[in-house]
Amino acid sequence: MAQQLQVSPSDTFDQSTIEKAAKVLVWSENGESVTFGSLFEKQKTIVVFTRHFFCGTYVEELAKVPKKALDAAGTRIVVIGCGDWSVIKTYREHTGFTSEIYAEPTRTLHGILGL
């Protein structure tokens, strides 16, 4: 039987967890890898994790957030999904989400963060 992680959305992450997660690679829609930490090191960033690509309903709603409002808040939204980066372009077309989308196929990041 799989072990259940005991992290709830209300829990905060300690510095060690954030540092470990920051080193995990994620892949862009062009297959380029960057560290997770680079996504939020220079700008306030809302990171939305999906269970898998084509969990589109939530991301379709995120696509409706006005860019002007995000810019005014100095914030951006980034989506990270499990799976291969090669489906990101199709996922983007399906959801209408124009901001950054990354893939983390190993689910290492999800495990570190208890997702």
> Could you read off the pLDDT of 83-113 as tens digits, one per residue?
899 999 999 999 999 999 999 999 999 999 9
What does pTM read for this prediction? 0.85
> Could you read off the pLDDT of 6-43 as tens digits, one per residue?
545 446 788 889 999 999 999 999 999 999 999 999 99
pLDDT of residue 2: 47
Q: What is the mean pLDDT of residues 46-60?
A: 84
Q: d(Cα 106, Cα 31) in Å, to the nearest integer?
A: 14
> 86 Cβ partners below 8 Å, 6+ apart?
31
pLDDT of residue 4: 47
DSSP string of the chain, one letter each residue: -PPPP---TTPPPPHHHHHHHHTSEEE-TTS-EEEGGGGTSSSEEEEEEESSTT-HHHHHHHTTS-HHHHHHHTEEEEEEESS-GGGHHHHHHHH---S-EEE-TT-HHHHHTT-
pLDDT of residue 12: 73
State yes or no: pLDDT of 1 exceeds 50. Answer: no
